[in-house]
Amino acid sequence: MVAKEANFDGLVGPTHNYAGLSYGNVASKSNANSESNPKQAALQGLAKMKALSDLGLAQGVIPPQQRPDVKALRRLGFSGSDKNVLESTYRTAPHLLMAVSSASSMWTANAATVSPSADTSDNKIHFTPANLTNKFHRSIEPTTTGNILRAIFNNDDHFKHHLHLPDNEHFGDEGAANHTRFCRAFGEQGVEFFVFGKYAFDDSKRKPLKYPARQTLEASQAVARLHGLQANKTVFAQQNPDIIDQGVFHNDVIAVGSRNVLFYHEQAFLSTDRVKTDIQSAFGHQNFHFVEVKTEDVSVQDAVRSYLFNTQLIELPSGEMVIIAPTECQQNEAVYAYLSELVSSNGIISDVKYFDVKQSMQNGGGPACLRLRVVLNGQEYRAVNQNCLINDRTYPALCDWVKKHYRDKLKTEDLADPALLDESKIALDELTQLLSLGSIFPFQR
Ligand code: SUG
């Protein structure tokens, strides 16, 4: 088998809700306290996974984390039975209960940074879970993320797992949401492109004034070092601080790349010319396509609303490149016009396929947020836990599992219901058996 790119999507967890936890993420704030539908959210995500698998792509699934995270609340001084912990947190610090109940691990673009074996010094695939320090509700994900990745990619000959970076803003790391890889063919040495929001060590450099920059250059450099990447095949670029202040909280909200294509908004980077020169010189003399979207065609605001760039650029087995977009892109006039023109004229991207992932979108998570890309050659693919791959057997089993265990309505006040905690534990215990993952959750250890 030639090397191919697999997408590992996060399965939405049973506590999916809208708590308005992410300052700087416009959708999260504007849908705060709306009623969510966890069952629909999980089924929407699974439908996207199955569709990509049916298109001939390798597709995997990453399980949700245990929420509410009662252990995190105990660490913050709440005590007694689990029921008491939930009740007293809800009474005295409801915002904490919301934070430890978030199903945010579904956005697996933030789970880790992954470097394929063709790029690393020891020819293994390297994984570094993201520490997600900028948001408390996400900072409780990385340890379990590491356990989950080790259970899915469980083979020391092929996979190298690192500990997440030190839990400090200085090394704020949001994983693959700010990382893209370019290559001629997936199995060949590629160029790894890291986009950061600010310098951790130099206050004289520009940074956003209103919203936080979640990724630092220091963090990106550390990940590149850990993965043993070659300096002349690694590019670091600063995100435009002005667009972070307009709600572009990760680079994958304003740019997406694959193979020899970078699709991006003209305002995405602080210095676009420099980005283009650096990528082209690292890529070498082969053809590289910079597909730049002008503000007059699509404003930053429309890009943020529709998630035009939080799309997946996938390569079908026929070699065609296709965009996987959320239906919000169809509903936005400027964006739909742009995409229709793009596929009819540009010759690089041949089609757009639209998916309804609205439950996730309302928290600021589009199709690209929901997936972690892992390039795998034949041996590596066979070394992956095969029960975590989506196919005609696992897909219906996972849909049945969701239908059996998930609620179809959830308000933030329901998070204090001890029955939700029990339901989630029972569901996750069954899921780990379905996916043959062993004991990965704290309640199983
Ligand atoms: O970290 N939203 C997530 C969305 C992550 C999207 N990921 C990428 N762009 N790769 C975040 O801001 C909102 C949760 C809430 O408000 O209930 C949230 O965590």
pLDDT digit string, tens, across residues 189-201: 999 999 999 999 9
Say which residues have a Cβ less than 8 Å from residue 271's Cβ, sequence separation at least 6. 237, 238
What is the model's pTM?
0.98
CATH of the domain at 121: 3.75.10.20
Is residue 97, in this structure, part of any structural domain at all?
A: no
Query: Can you tell me which atom of ligand 1 is nearest the CA of 175?
Result: 10
Handedness of CA 146, 139, 313, 212 (dihedral sign): negative
Measured in Å, residue 298 CA sits from the centre of ligand 1 at 23
Q: Are 67 and 15 in contact (CB under 8 A)?
A: yes
Distance CA 47, CA 5 (A): 19
Strand partners, 180: 193
Atom 8, ligand 1: residue with shortest CA distance: 369
Four-CA torsion 222, 366, 253, 104, nearest 10 degrees: -40
- Probe ligand 1: pick from 21, 105, 411, max atoms within 8 Å of CB? 21
Q: Residue 189 falls within a domain, yes or no? A: yes
Among protein residues, the one with the nearest Cα to ligand 1's atom 7 is 369
Cβ(194)–Cβ(223) under 8 Å? yes
Residue 127, beta-bridge partner list = 114, 161
Averaged pLDDT score across all residues of the chain: 97
Domain assignment present for residue 359? The answer is yes
Domain count of the chain? 1
Average pLDDT over residues 236-263: 98
Check: CB of residue 16 under 8 Å from CB of residue 41: yes
Note the pLDDT tens digit of each residue in 77-90: 999 999 999 999 99
pLDDT(1) > 80: no
> Is 378 a domain residue?
yes
Nearest-angstrom CA–CA distance, 128 and 208? 26
Which contiguous run of DSSP H or E holds residue 235? strand 234-238
Q: Is 250 a catalytic residue?
A: yes
In a domain, 76, yes or no: no
How many other CB atoms sit within 10 Å of the CB of residue 424?
25
Please state the separation of Cα 297 from the chain's center in Å: 27
For residue 60, being part of any structural domain is answered with yes
* Segment 51-68 mean pLDDT: 98
Q: Which atom of ligand 1 lies nearest, measured to the CA of 368? A: 10
Is residue 84 in a domain? no
The answer to whether the CB of 322 falls within 8 A of the CB of 312 is no
For residues 232 and 235, give the distance between their C-alpha atoms in angstroms, rounded to a whole number: 8
State the pLDDT at residue 286.
87
Residue whose CA is at the smallest distance from ligand 1 atom 11: 22
Ligand 1 atom 9, closest CA:
369
Task: Report angle CA 148, 154, 157 to the nearest 5 degrees.
Answer: 145
CA of 52 to the centre of ligand 1 (A): 23
62-78 mean pLDDT: 98
Answer yes or no: is 353 within a domain: yes
**Which residue out of 25, 26, 100, 106 has the highest number of ligand 1 atoms within 8 Å of its CB and is therefore the one to mutate?**
25
Q: Is 25 in the pocket of ligand 1 (CB under 6 A)?
A: yes
Give the percent of the chain with pLDDT over 90: 97
Residue among 35, 249, 357 whose CB has most ligand 1 atoms within 8 A, to mutate: 249
Q: Position 342: which residue type?
A: L
What 8-state DSSP symbol labels residue 322?
A: E
Question: Percent of the chain scored above 70 by pLDDT?
Answer: 100
pLDDT 10s digits, 75-126: 999 999 999 999 999 999 999 999 999 999 999 999 999 999 999 999 999 9
Residue 243 and residue 272 in contact, taking contact as beta carbons nearer than 8 Å:
no
Q: Which domain holds residue 222?
A: 4-67+102-444
Nearest-CA residue for ligand 1 atom 19 is 104
The reply to whether omega before 63 is within 30° of 0 (cis) is no
Counting every residue, how long is the chain? 445
DSSP string covering 41-57, please?
HHHHHHHHHHHHHHTT-
